[in-house]
Amino acid sequence: MVSMVADEKAQPQLLSKKAACNSHGQDSSYFLGWEEYEKNPYDPVSNPGGIIQMGLAENQLSFDLLESWLEANPDALGLRRGGASVFRELALFQDYHGMPAFKNALARFMSEQRGYRVAVDPSNIVLTAGATSANEALMFCLADHGDAFLIPTPYYPGFDRDLKWRTGAEIVPVHCTSANGFRLTRAALDDAFRRAQKRRLRVKGVLITNPSNPLGTTSPRADLEMLLDFVAAKGIHLVSDEIYSGTAFAAPGFVSVLEVLAARGASNAPDADLSERVHIVYSLSKDLGLPGFRVGAIYSSNAGVVSAATKMSSFGLVSSQTQHLLASLLGDREFTRKYIAENTRRIKERRDQLVEGLRGIGIECLESNAGLFCWVRMGNLMKSQSFEGEMELWKKVVFEVGLNISPGSSCHCREPGWFRVCFANMSAKTLDVALQRLADFAEANGSGKGGAAPARRPLAGGPARTMSCPVGRFSWANRLTPGSADRKAER
């Protein structure tokens, strides 16, 4: 036999190194749980044994309000203005600075979300195709390849993709703990800054989510003051992702860093140029429940950032028909005022249903006042208080219980046993089914301690239901360990 090895030619690399690399983060349990849900989605009629999606922070609680407005305002959806067609106007090329009518309406809506304590200037807004695009554009504007941003943990798993994959920026976790409810401290910031220096990384800024994803809490004014002191002292940037600003449903309420910055005043010498290093990310995906519309925004008083980000926005524009529709909707002040009030009431009601149901099972949540999810401690269901125990429980919850939730390790939490559980993307009846499934699992497993499960309270949403969820074998689940993609940023 003649060997063919010597005659073989090297195959060309068909993909770029960036496209072929594994730094996207798609192998995180956060994304893999979604994959399993998509293979077997729950439906109360056609697939009652399917997986219930509790890993998606989507707001479906107020669609009826939006649909009622659309029915009452057919011109907005019909591409008309004053009864006349604007189809030709919208079909032609639009300047990537955005339509003035929409930017003005968005600026007013953002001011409304902040209690009119902040006057949002539409000329400082850069429109983007969602908050994902906004965050990435800011990284391109503020950080070079290898520069770092500090991010408090636990944080949204998608940031590993959004901020790092194409930009080459690095994330250094700021480790927060349950001892103080995961609040950010100056000591934790200083520690993260020192760790970045040891890695020879140049820290360009801090990024926070306020309200927090995944904690479901708003940042106290005192914490924002401390954070501004830190970035002022270090001469770095602050990015505040405020896409959940309109979901705050309880005291102390939402306070934007813009409000705190304005209150400090220009007379404070260390703050002379601080206003040009504070940037806001916003989106209509959460407050209005419109993630499919892909409407995001960067807000910055830095003319250089606005100019550069506007140029970058040409790679991800918001469609002209979407801007036309939302300019009309956001321009209706009476509607937006009533919508915000009713939407936050519904979020609180659904949050309370989840918290009360979990408490009846013997599971506690971090006290929250915003967001579309709860930060849930499920250590009493784990066989071992470790990240291995967390991953083992997560697999059981996905495959045996039929609930897709997000383990804390995917959010870079340093304490095993925490999970992000979403509640606003389903009906009250579906949430009741999810709670009953978890209650049955807790009873069958004796709360994971080998003993009797705690007594259960009646669950909200009607009488208890029983169901069975088929269990199969999933090869990818066996390769997931706490040492995989979920915790790479801990190094």
How far is it, in rounded angstroms, from Cα 23 to Cα 488?
10
How far is it, in rounded angstroms, from Cα 47 to Cα 37?
12
Give the burial string for 24-42 (b: 16+ CB within 10 Å, else e). Answer: bbeebbbbbbbebbeebeb
The residues annotated with a catalytic role in the active site are 156, 241, 243, 286
Distances (CA, A) of 360 to 345, 435, 457: 23, 10, 5
How far is it, in rounded angstroms, from Cα 43 to Cα 55?
16
Q: How many CB atoms lie within 10 A of CB 377?
A: 18
- Asked if 283 and 162 count as a contact pair (C-beta separation under 8 A), the reply is no
How far is it, in rounded angstroms, from Cα 285 to Cα 207?
19
How far is it, in rounded angstroms, from Cα 59 to Cα 424?
5
Q: Which H helix or E strand runs over 375? A: strand 373-377
**462 secondary structure, DSSP code:** S
How buried is 234 (Cβ within 10 angstroms: 0-12 exposed, 13-18 middle, 19+ buried)? middle
Distances (CA, A) of 464 to 45, 443, 444: 17, 14, 16
- Asked if 30 and 406 count as a contact pair (C-beta separation under 8 A), the reply is yes
- Asked if 206 and 227 count as a contact pair (C-beta separation under 8 A), the reply is yes
How far is it, in rounded angstroms, from Cα 141 to Cα 308?
7
